[in-house]
Copies of this chain bind each other. A is one copy, B any other.
């Protein structure tokens, strides 16, 4: 990466050797249901608590990716992983069960893409031969942690997003040959437009997404039209509109037909999620399920995947701080 740039253009782009996705009951009734590798009707995933259920979902997802990629756990060199729980406990307990070296990340909902950017850079530079990149989220763990106990049945405003119960994991490997690859990655920088409404995440994160897409295009000399799809995760329906407006105001409009949002794609509007899906697991599962499978089938050749995170906490919200947004991007290509 040259000074002044935020983008790695990988000299030896790693192959996505395998990718796995698991979703919960509500997500398995959405429009992308057929794309996920596992759809659980038990949101406890056989555990006693939602937190340990989320952790089990994440563990199962990473184990599945290793199995699909033919990698034994003792050969896995690093698990780049995070989740939304305080102190990323879903990740910690999953990594304990997997016994794979852990790189614990926190980028809120951008975590999955943050991991891809870092892991691909380390593989490209020859530091690692393989890496797992994963993230999870769970509606029930997130609601009670960030908002209110579910038992209260709190009414959600129209701008609120629905934290997906989902996990995704991609196995990156060094080596030549054809297939799906991570060919470039852009680091995120905090952008804060002074949004203070913790039920309006799309608005808080859209400026960071705009900043990262612009940085990626400028750093690589590309145009939005060079991509078959720009996939954001997760702005939801409202945030997606705000992003399009920000680009129009900047005088470099994004072609709306090329812009999909993972959160806006995971649920039907009738599923009562309001502004769409969100959560680390949303972009991870939709990428590993929907996008990567479509790329492998030849339906998409070049995708810019942008994961965005809102770096707030209940404490910062109670202290009337605004919401710092961040976004990371990776260029996925079938070569």
Contacts and interface: CB of A to CB of B under 8 A. Distances in A.
A41 to B, nearest CB: 23
Given A88-B311, A319-B49, A82 B99 contact: no
A205 interface: no
Given A75-B3, A122-B121, A129-B3, A312 B89 contact: yes
A174 to B, nearest CB: 11
A324 interface: yes
State the copy count for this chain. 2
Contact of A188 (B6, B84, B102, B315): B102
Interface in A178-205: 187-190, 192
A49 to B, nearest CB: 5
Interface size class of A (residues with CB under 8 A): 35 or more
A126 interface: yes
A321 B52 contact: yes
A78 interface: yes
A326 interface: yes
Contacts of A82: 106
Contacts of A125: 121-122, 124-127
A106 B87 contact: yes
B106 A114 contact: no
Nearest to A51: B315
Interface in A78-111: 78, 82, 84-89, 91-93, 95-96, 99-108
